[in-house]
Structures are given as structure tokens and as C-alpha cells.
Structure 1
Amino acid sequence: MLVDLGPAPGPDTAALLLDACQAVLAARAEGQAPRLVALQPEGIAGGFLRSFFIETPGCDILLLNLPATDPDPETLLAEIRAAGPGFQEVTLAPDGTRTKPVWQRAAPDSADRPVPGPGDAVLVSGGGKGIGAECGLALARETGCALLLLGRSAPDEDAELQRNLDRIAATGTRLSYRRADVTDAAAVARALRQGEADLAVPVTGVIHGAGHNHPRTVANLEPALIAQTLAPKVTGLRNILAALDPGRLKLLAGFGSIIARIGLHGEADYALANEWLSREIEAFGAAHPRCRALSVEWSVWSGTGMGQKLGRLDALMAQGIQPISVDEGIAAFLRLATGDGPAGATVVSGRFGAPATVDLGQPEPPALRYVETIPVWYPGTEIVTECRIAPGTDPYLEDHVLNGQRLFPAVMALEAMTGALRTLAGDLPGAPRFGKVQFRQGLVVPGDGAMTVRVAAQRRGDGRFDLAIRCSATGFQVNHVEALCDIAEHATPETDLLPADPATTLPGLDPARALYGNVLFQKGLFARVAGYGLLEARRCAASLSPAHDARWFAADLPQARLLGDAGARDAALHAIQACIPHETVIPMSVESIETAPLDPAQAHRIAAVEREDLGNRLVYDMAIFDAQGRAVEVWRGLTLRVMGPPEDLRLDAPPLVAPFVERRIAAELHDAGLTVALAPSTGRAGPGPDRRPDGKPDRDDSGAYLSNAHGAGWRLSVRARWPVGVDLQEQPDHDRNGWTRLVGEEGMRLADALTDLTGIDAGRAATHVWAAREAMKKAGMPAGAPLSVDPASTAQWLRLRSGDWVVYASAFAPDGAARPLCLAVVVGVAEDAVGAPARLAGE
């Protein structure tokens, strides 16, 4: 069935459309299934036909947009024969080019046009309430313009209208409300003259929000009913423009509907009215280029607007149509009206499902592991991807198990978000730059071994992207990971951190034995820390080994990783763990990440420094370097959450002992400024403290105290703002008589108390007492100073008191040592740097 809508839209257009559609319905009632073919030169019938298509399942419709010149009949026949099932729209250009309408994200308008200001008034049709009035008020408050509101209701007969007018006036906005039906040209002209007289400024802007919507299916429509729907939108706009001087208009904004683009059951006439409105505004804009001519084709609003009035909001939401909040709608309108957005017809919408009546321009998605399915995809604007992960498909999960739970690694979360971003934005010009990264809750793969990961990416108005990850384990109700991201051309990131010399490796620390399976829970693909060139309590520099020759994903899955070597990135993060060897830490948040696709064949290096110690949170800056020492990736403000001590922790490697001791003491003595170093002894005395005759060290030039001790080839050094003394003793092979001769009867009673309290053997306990006494001497304490055991002592960490002094003791057994080494650090806490009494944390 063919209908020709004529050379231009006119009074007969609606009747022709209605007759054709109702004829199709009649034929279908008789068992026929005709295809409806509509010919039009200008786009006004699309929304009507799309609505009819939605109302009439199984009906095939072809809409042909023709050039002004008569098309070749053979071309028309070819299009009709080639048409497939469903709804199709094709545009034929004068040169024979054939196109189909595809939705695209709107680009900002670069034209410089004036905006109404304090010397202008903006006419708002549609009354003193609703989205037109709200947008008018926002524009007035933004620009200082006055408002002339046109409506059919009388404020003294409409309490809601009066309240809204009072609210607008209370903002200080200059306001005039005039009664007029926009379909009455004389009434519009009269109201305009009166309003300009009230406000004493000319009307140079229009927000045309008037409309009429009474939902009916095409089967129940009549020409007169369609005319009622068209009148306020089309005739009303013409009447307003006829009453104004079009040459001085700065803004013309018509409020249309997304229904004109996608169709909706029972809304064919309303779709026609809104599509016609858009064409009229576009024509005006072409004739008056100095005027910002907008047709804002809104989705449904929540709290106000036509959808709310008709009570259809819940039904629309059930169809996947997401309403626009009042604040969101106003913000979008202001961007469009003030020049920070496109001109012409623009759809402003929340999600609206996946209608079969439009082509959203979705390209072929890239082959990426975490982009298995795409439930939501508005190209350039929003995407939601899903992927089901399990140990069988994602073997790296078995290498990332903490306390018996398979954790989806933070670095794979970044990879998943990058995959969603790549699918949404297309080929990335550079590596993503993440900001405000929040790892809010761990993604734990449940015991049955499978979990669906859902990644959402949404483009902001400023071009950046909001990202989030949810999962099936929490019913997709929790944002486990959140981030803000932008994309920039790749450049070498700037950092003050420096990598360690790869030829320099700290002795006494074999990562395979001392770290993995002990301090670190990672293994396999993630076990990449090869050694440290620097390791202290607050900073470190390490070397990473190249990637293992193993698959990250099952063989039948895409293997591409946009961010490159996830194992190196994870190792760079967990290398920091050695600075806090006695507490497991996991990423909590990151201020910013300048990422790069890490080359898995390279031996990367990392450097990290602590910015802040917040107790149960530690803040670091970290950089990853390539094999040549060039910074390739920088993490700033990496906050690590302290989770508690690893199970069955062994602290035998000397490079781990120093940060352990320093942090344990610093946790109590915040202001002592204490640092601890434990390094191989060179046999030379090296720089040491000057001592008073009583043995107590003097301060050095910086005002700090320094104490050293040597034992079994190792040198322990402690520097602090408060007086300190240290000792390091290899546990000798004595019987009780030998120990009694060394530490005395009182010392043995103290050793027995340590054994009873902590379970350490008698020899270890006596060595601790001996080392404590020696450290006390080096601190200048009296020879007979009493010692008492703190009941909170453990086998790994002993704490003793002597008046205002505290003694800390621990033991370790480095590789090659015949016996354990016992260290003691005594700190005087009676005075702080200015002589005031100091106290232990918690006291």
C-alpha cells in the first residue's frame, strides 16, 4: 500500500497518513498483510508511522524521504522490492546517494550567537508550571532576563499556578503572566504587547512549551483529533513568531518529544505534532542564523511534564524508559540555550530501551574478554557490558586468593573498565587516565566458581566518563569499583620518583621465599617481584620480572588486554606490601592513574613513597618504569587499606625486619621521628654517635639521636628525635646456669615471665633480656634500671617498660644464620623535642 504525502507538509498531510494506516488495518482485518510505503519530501511522518508500527505487530513499513526533484521510478521500485521486514526509513539524495538515519551523540554548536540577558524578556508558552516554566526560571536566574509567561489558566482559579508564580517572583525574577491560548493569533499578539509593557523590555527569546496530548491508537484517531494535537505545537509556534520581530530573536527553543524519533503506542498524533514542530524550528533557524534555534526533544521527566501529567511514568519505566530528573533537565536546557550544546533538533533523554524503530549506530564491538554481552549501548554516550568469569575461563583467579576467597584483582577491574570505554568511545587516541578511583568492596568470586561482572560507562557533558563495576554476587546492587576517566594522547607521565638500579639488589631478601606465600598472597601469574634495590618502611624500589608464558584467559576467549601486562601492574602494587610486611594491605582508592599499555616482555621497575600514614589507611605515590628507566605509568594518592596480619607470617629476611620494627614503634610513638635500618655489616665501624661519659648518645647536627649495633654480619641502626639505644645479639647456646651468669637471677625471672606469656623458648627469652639490657646501656640508662613485661607482648613482638622508657624486642633468623638474631630498641619517652612530657599512643 503506497501513500504519497505530497511535495510539502500541509493541511492534508495528517489526513493522508491516517487514511493510509487505517486502510492497512482494514486489510489486515481481512487477512491481508500489505506493506505500507510512505513517500515524503520532508521529515514529519516518521514518528506517526513508528507509533503505528509499534501498535501493529507484524506490519512492515517503509518510509522514503525523497529529494525535491522527482526521483527515478525504477529507483523507488528497487527500494520497495529490497525493503526487509519491520520498520525502515531511507533517504534518497538528489545525486542518488542512499542513506539511513543513524543516531549520533550531538556535537556542540561552534556558532557565536547572542544570549538573552538583563535587557531582554523570554516568552514561555505552556503556562506558569511544568517544564517550560522551570526552564524559563533557570534561564532567568542564569542570564538575568525577564519572563513573560503565557497560559490559558487564571491564577485566581488555579492554586497550583498561583503558588508557582509566587515562587518565581520570590527569586527576584522580573515576571509577567498573561492569559492567552497560543492557537488564537490575536490573543497571542495582545498578550505579547501587554507583557512587554509590563516588563519594559522587548521579547527576544521564546521557549515554546505548549502542547496537547490525549493518547489514542491510530485505529481510534480522527482528523479532528489530530488537528487538536497539532494546533498548540505548530499553529501556536507560528502565531508566536508572527507576533514578534523575528530579526531580533536571540533564542527560539521548542519543547518537543523523543516520541517523534522512536514512536510510542497510542502517541501517533503527538509524535506527528512534535516532529512537525522540529521541522518548523529548523526552517526558522536556517532563515535566521543569528538566532539560536533549538528543538529539544525530551524524554519523559519525573516530577513534572506531560508524562507525569498523564500518569504514564510507571508504565514508561517498565518499558526501559528512564525519566529525566528536574535538575538534570534544567541543566541540559541551560547548556543548550546558552550555547554550550548543539543547535537544531536534539534528543535529551535518559535510557529509552532498544526500540526496533531506530538505528542507534552501534558498530561491531571489539573482541575483548570483559565485553561478552552488551545489555545497554548508546554509542558515544552510555554502555553496560557483562561478562561471566570463573576459574575455568579466568585462570588468574586461582593466583589471587586471599583467606580462601578468589578476589577479582583491582588491575583486572581497570582492564574491564577500559574495555567498556573502548567499546563506547571507539579507538582510543591514548591510554586512559583514571581519577577518583574507588575500590569500595572486593569482587569475590563465590564458592561455586562463577560470577557475572557488569561494567557501566557513561559520558559526561565535559567529555570525561563515569565508570562503575557491579557483580551478580551482590545482585548488581553495589558499586564495587568506581572511577572517573578521560582519554588523552599518550605522553610520558611526570614523576619525582626514581627507579632503583637494576644491578643493585638488597641482600638477604629472596622474594620467592620471603614474600610470596608469606607476606604476599599472590602467586603464579602475579608473582613478578624479582628483587628490591631499596626497601624502607616508607618507600621502596623494586624490579619486576617479564611475564610468564601462560594464558590469562581460556584459549577460546579473546586474549587482548588493552592495558597490557596486568601481572606487572599488580606486582607494582603489591611490591609496596614489603614496606608493611606484618599487615596485609589492599587498594582502597586512587586519586589518579596515568596508565600505559605495559609490555609483558619487559622487565619493569617500580618506585613508591608513602605520603601519609592514617593508621588503618596508608597513602602512596607509585610509578612504573620501563627497562630503560623511563616512567610509563604513575599512580598518585594510592590509598591502601590495612586488612590485618597474614596467616603464619615469617619475618626472617632482614630487609623486611627493619620496616616491621619501625612501623610497630611508630604506631605507638608518633612523634619520635624514628627510622630503622638493617643492612649487612661491612666490618667498619662507620659513623656513630658521640656519647657522654654515662654512655648516653649526644644529638647529631640535625638534632637526632643515633644508635648502632652489630651482630652475625648485620648492622642495626636507629635514628630518632628522642633518646634511643639498640642492640643486636645472636642467640648463644647456654644452659640455665650460663644464662644466669650473663643476665643474673632477676634477668632470668624476667626471661621466665616472657616464656610463660608468649611461649618462646628459654634461650630466646634470655637473649631478649640480654639485648634489652645492652640497649639500655647504650641509651645511657642506669645499670640497675628495673624492667617489667607488658602483658600485650607476643612471640613476634615484645614490649617492656622501665619507668619512662620503652623497650621493644623481636627476633629473626636470616638465611645462613646458625641461630636467631634478637634485636632490642629502647626509646626514652619522658620528654618530647621541647621538653614537655611525652606519652605513648593510647595512654
Structure 2
Amino acid sequence: MGRLAADVTGGREIRATLDALRTAGSEAAYLAVDITDQAATTAALAPHRDRVTGLVHGAGVLADQLIAHKKASEIERVFAPKLAGLRSVLAALPAERLRHVVLFSSVAGFFGNQGQSDYAMANEVLNTWAASARRMLPGARVTSLNWGAWDSGMVSPQIKAVFEERGIPLIQAPEGARLFAGQFAPERAADTVTVLGPTTPLSSRERPAPTSVATVRRSLTELAGTLLVTDHRIDSVPVLPAAVAIGWALGAVEHAEGRRAVRLRDFSVHKGIVFDGTGPDECRVVMTPADGEVTVAVRSVTKDGTVRPHYAATVLAGPAPAPAAPLTGLPAPGGGADAAGLYEDGTLFHGPALRGLRRVLADEEARLVLECEPVATDAGPADASWYAAGPADLLLQAALVWVRRFRSAAGLPLAVGGVELHAPLTSPGTFLVVVEPVRRDGPDSRLTVTACAPDGRVLARFTDVSVVSAPQLAAKFTG
């Protein structure tokens, strides 16, 4: 009965999709054929073969079972639509006309997944085929998309519950459609195998969340010689970037709990860590769990046993935040004015390794937009998987630029109300940083700072960034 209901529902969805396409002015045909049958596939595509310039291969069947209990017939059933199906469709189409070949692979093939050895192998074959097809089909863009689990399709309510228990976010249909369409953009032309979704194995077991206080030690001696510190000087003295402390908080909780940390609130600077030769050799990241959150305190201990607080934050456990609405009305990269002078005129104090602000694209108090390039960071092992202190520091730099431009003062970030990571900040390529004021009066400036792709897709957002201004800082920034 369930299969019959699914067939009826599927038929209705197909008719609704075809009607929507026709209403939008497109011509569409739906052909039902067993693509593992070469002759039937060739016959079905024969009337259309000379018009086809793109192929999206999304067929797939699941037969999850531990490998010890797998039957040959189940393996063949999983392999057939993925591999024999692709071979049948390609044989039925003129290769010289193809301009796009997009394969729906899976993160199960990229990382593996418990109970899906055959499904993982089939998808990894698609990945390997895509790499070789780049040479066989020089006129086509060939990409194998390794999808994470969608909140639809093959993901049953039971499987969805397992993912939620593991803290693995599902791809929502609108987001998946946007990611798919984005693969046809010019800047994605070089993608051959790309992961869209979770960047950790689906079957990795979560470590139980700590139930008592845990402490991680961070060596300041080893950190002192890194570019992240040596190029972060105020009045010629190296100072630990606040972005590093945020990364410590996220990273410590992620590594302790075994789940991605992407949300943080109430970050504050009590006393920054200065590398002037008089400080401690290490600091301690102390995690205190309570009510689904982990309070993180970064402290050091002097030789006489005095505890000095440096930074504090609260990391929120659980699934990732809901996808943020993309920003609209953004200027195109490459315009505006060169931002190099910001590092010379006392606005910013950062050395060459941290100078990632490239252009000022929009210079208005209500919305400052900067074009950025990720800066290399050599202090990242302590960071969370979606967080890198170097690129994150550019968001705080942008806040200082806003304060200098619209408050005519140099400033330093002393607090961040919230951090949300919606995509890896570690990806290469140009991105934009948008600064918008929350409060425009008082002794400090409160800002929302958003990192986004050029198309407006939100990568990360720092909310309620508090920047305190002081007249004497301008001289120290150029010192």
C-alpha cells in the first residue's frame, strides 16, 4: 500500500513540475525508462538526442546493510542505476554535443558510510569517471557533486532522525537547488569533484558531550612566532588576535564533543594576550558544560599562581543554524577603491600576512562593503572545521574600518554578541564583508558584520560586534 501511495504522489509531483515549467515558458518531456536497459534507453532518447547538450545523472538505489550481510544481488541493484545507467545514457547521446555533464554522487562515496559499502563504491566510481571524462569530453564541463543528505528524497523519517541525533544538518530543498544552479556559474567551471553538504563522515560516532569541566592547554611560546601573531602588532608589540580566541573556543568544544561547532555567543575580551616577553608560556581553555551549552574561559596562571582571565564565550551545541537569507543589492567585485591605504593611514595595524582587505566596494554608513581575499593562517589546528582565524580576522578588520570612516576614530573589538557559521570560512576565493550598524550612539559602536560569497550567500555572521574607540590608538596603529 505504501509503494502504491508513493507512486501516486510521485506522479502528481511530476505533473506539477511539468506544468510549472510550461507556465514559465519552457518545453519539457518526461520519459519513463529503465536506464540499465541500453536498447530501451537508446529508443526513448532517439527523438531528442540531437537537441541534448546537457546531462544530469541523478539515478540511485539504496540497499543499506553491513558488508558481512550483503548479497550479490543487492550490490548489483545498487551499482546498476549509477554505473550501467550512466553508460546507457551516454551511449544514446552524441558526445560531441554535450556541454555539461553533472553527476549526482554522494558524500558516502567521498567519506564512506556504515552499511553503504556498495553505494559508496558506486559513487566513488562516478567521481573517478568524472576526472577521466574531463579528458574524454574536452568540450564539456564535467562535475561530480558529492551531495550530503537532503531533507527529502532517499532520506526517510527514520534516517532523518539518525542524522539529527548525530548533529548532521540536512540540505533543505531550496538550498540544494541553489547549490546545484551555482555549479553552472563561470567560477565553478574547474570543479570536477566537489562536496556539497557535511564535510565529516556521515557514520562518524559522536563522542559524548563532556559532563564536567575540561581544560585544554594552548602553548603561547609556539604561537609567538607565527605570522598570525607577528603581523598583528599594536604599538610595535605583537598581540593575540581576538579571532584566534574565538577559534579556540569553537575548536575546543568541537574536538571535545566530536561535532561541528558553528555557533557562539557572548564573546568578550577581559585582558588581551600580549607577546612582550613578560607573559606566560601557555594559557588554558576551560570548558564548563551546562544545559546544552559550553561556557569557555581562556585564562593564564602567573608564576605566583594568580589566575588571569583573558577571554570568555559560550559555545552552543546542537545542529547548525537555519540557512541565512542571502544578501541582496551587493556591488560586484573589482569596482570601488583600492583598500591598501587602510593599512597605512592608521585605520588598521595589520602586517602583510593579514592584509586581506582588497577593495572598498560601497562606502556608506548604513552599509560598508569590502572585497576580501582569504589570508593564510599558520595557527589553525586549534580552530573548528568551518572556522579559520585568518579569514575571520578580516570581519573584525572591516568593523575597525567602519569605525574609522564614520566615527573618525581608531578602535579595537572588545566583544562579539554572536557568531554563526553557515559555510566553511576556509574556502579559497574572493568573498565580501558587509558591515551594518546596529547602534550609532554611545561610547562604543555596535555592528553586524557578514561574510558572504559574491552572489550574496552568507558564509559567516558576527552580530553585535562592539568596537571601542580611543584617540590614542591611531598613533599606536602606525607605530
Using the size of structure 2 for normalisation, the TM-score is 0.50
Task: Judging by fraction of residues, say which structure has more helix.
Answer: 2
Q: Which has the larger radius of gyration?
A: 1
Using the size of structure 1 for normalisation, the TM-score is 0.30
